[in-house]
Structure 1
């Protein structure tokens, strides 16, 4: 094995069936928070993974477990953590509810450290109803430069955004008095993601069915965190030489740089089981006009990138 290969992460980043990764930088470490990819009845816990250089990953096991969430009974997935006020807040979906008559939706947990243990913060779902047709799943939290915290979420082809209160465990209202705004762009299915670069808001999402080969990622650009969002195009999709079902992603920006990475799941070519998904990472590059270049999936992954302390 040559030196160049040793200094690359390889894809997948770590062993095991995992999906829906959210990536963050906490306490001088890179963190990835995925779904444990298994049948719903077996999705009863969350693991996390951390690294100091993107290439060697260590598992933090069972950072949140179903038995610690009184209202959850199956299907924990799609976590999104954020650090604020010295605490770590962890948003997740549970129970895969199909109507307002069922118990479940989006919950929030809290911990003193990024590896947990997390505890249910409010003892009930934070969002437990269908607003504007959006199934309450796939939360993604975004902290804007002005300190406002936004929660993007939604399945069944609809996406909403809500504001989080300063304590991060309740919903706030927008200036117009509303609590939810629908921001669904064209072809949206699920898996929202938001970041800001050079003053532009990049709203991203997954298209296609998560069980099939056509799962993919598209994006829009806006001058506002609540849109409107006009679809620009796809940036991540299957490659017949690499993998299928590439989607539901997060991202990393190296601090004080314009260096970006996309973290996503995909299905190896040898796998047909819907739950056989692995977490991968590749570079995310931009055109001069700010548009995102199509992502080239690789088996090699990314080069070592130690965090400066």
Structure 2
């Protein structure tokens, strides 16, 4: 979702495709930088990130976070990602005009929330639409909430309390037949490292407090089946194991492959695909399994690093083709001010995903 100037500087030294905030008042436009990017921004009138895409009512609907300029100081917990509302976008088909349906949910309309409306997702059941979103509560702890609408574009009405049993951030909804699941989790600013046995540990405050040693099992995302109402968990959350080629859990020091945030699930030809961001190494990686609960075996990368510190995505099928939605910083050159994009995604005959390069 985020992160700090200190980490950004380290990555620049390492040669990653990142960019610092510009020290000039010159306006950066998509046209002036388009030559090095493989795909154009979908939205240019506001900053958008973390796009969750779904096909509802025969159209592609996109549920991103809404980046804004803020006076909040940067830190390693992502406080400068101070988003305050959500917009919903739609397009009739890839390449068509993108419609901004306006504000779908505002921070002040969520009774339990204190700040930071980070990456959301959505689901539909029986003609109702459900927006799942993370926010810090009044004690500054991330929880996951849900809001409901009769329309895919909203507006959405938030439930008065967060979903019991949830913690951390980056909720992602997955439908498998008649069953619906919620995935979530993220380390560092996502606070997953502050929990043990799904309970908050007192005294953990920093981005690395509770992070395992490099040779220990990495943190994994969580999954739980949703109840029939779609507003509660139907079971205790379970850890989703991501394994290496030897069947061992990915280690915390395996930064190129370990889970950091942004879990997303899709199904293709009977296999379940779990994709996720590796965070400080900037890949969208993926693993495959035979059940939504896993275990999943690491397979490779969906997306190479983008310009900007963060990476967050979704994968959706539309009219027989698959698409990856992601973000970068083409419009602003600044990590907290991102723009959403899309690219066609290819599943290869052996079930692997052809890696996408976001740069030309």
- Tell me if TM exceeds 0.5: yes
More helix, by proportion: 2
Q: Which deviates more from structure 2 when the two are superposed, residues 55-64 or residues 187-196?
A: 55-64
**RMSD value, Cα:** 2.2
Q: CA deviation at 1:11?
A: 1.1
TM-superposition CA deviations, 1:199-247 (whole Å, max 9, x none): 10001100123xxxx42200001111110012111121226xxx34462
Deviation at 1:21, TM superposition (A): 0.4
Q: Structure 1 residue aligned with 2:298, among 224, 231, 234?
A: 231
Are 2:184 and 1:153 equivalent residues in the alignment?
A: yes
- For residues 115-148 of structure 1, what are the alpha-carbon distances to aligned partners after superposition, in whole Å with 9 as ceiling and x for unaligned? 1110013x11114655xxxxx2000000102x11
Rounded Cα–Cα distance in structure 2 between residues aligned with 1:293 and 1:96:
40
Match of 1:180 among 237, 242, 248: 237
Runs of 4+ off more than 3 Å: 38-42, 101-104, 127-130, 243-246
Aligned equivalent of 2:162, options 121, 125, 143: 125
Once the two structures are superposed, what CA deviation does each residue of 1:82-116 show, in whole Å capped at 9, x if it has no partner? 1101100010000179xxx6554100000000111
Distance 1:208 1:112 in 2: 35
User: Equivalences for 1:70-219 in 2 at 5 Å?
Assistant: 70-95=111-136, 102=140, 104-121=142-159, 123-127=160-164, 130=167, 136-145=168-177, 147-156=178-187, 157-173=219-235, 179-185=236-242, 186=250, 187-209=258-280, 214-219=281-286
Task: Give me the whole-angstrom Cα distance separating, in 1, the residues matched to 2:158 and 2:308.
Answer: 35
Shift of 1:269: 8.9
Name the structure 2 match of 1:297. 358
Matched position secondary structure for 2:114: coil
1:40-55 to 2 correspondence within 5 Å? 40=80, 42-55=82-95
Give the one of 313, 316, 325 matched to 1:249.
313
Structure 1 residues 31-59: Cα deviation after superposition (integer angstroms, max 9, x where no partner): 11100123557411000111112221010
Contact 2:114 2:137 in 1 (8 A): no
CA contact (8 A) 1:80 1:90 kept: yes
1:13–1:269 CA distance, 2 compared to 1 (3 A):
closer
Separation of aligned partners in 2, 1:171 and 1:149: 10
Whole-Å Cα distance in 2 between the matches of residues 285 and 120 of structure 1?
36
Structure with greater strand share of residues = 1
- Report the secondary structure of 1:95's partner residue: strand
Of residues 39-48 and 225-234 in structure 1, the stretch that sits farther from structure 2 once superposed is 39-48
Kept in 2, the 8 Å contact 1:236–1:247? The answer is no
Is it true that 1:282 corresponds to 2:340 in the alignment? Answer: no
TM-score (normalizing by structure 1) = 0.80
Listed as ranges, the gaps of 5+ residues in structure 1 are: 1-8, 131-135, 174-178, 300-309
1:64-96: CA deviation from partner (whole Å, max 9, x where unpaired) = 111110111110011110110110001000017
Structure 2 length normalisation: TM-score?
Answer: 0.69
How far, CA to CA, are the matches of 2:90 and 2:301 in structure 1?
A: 29
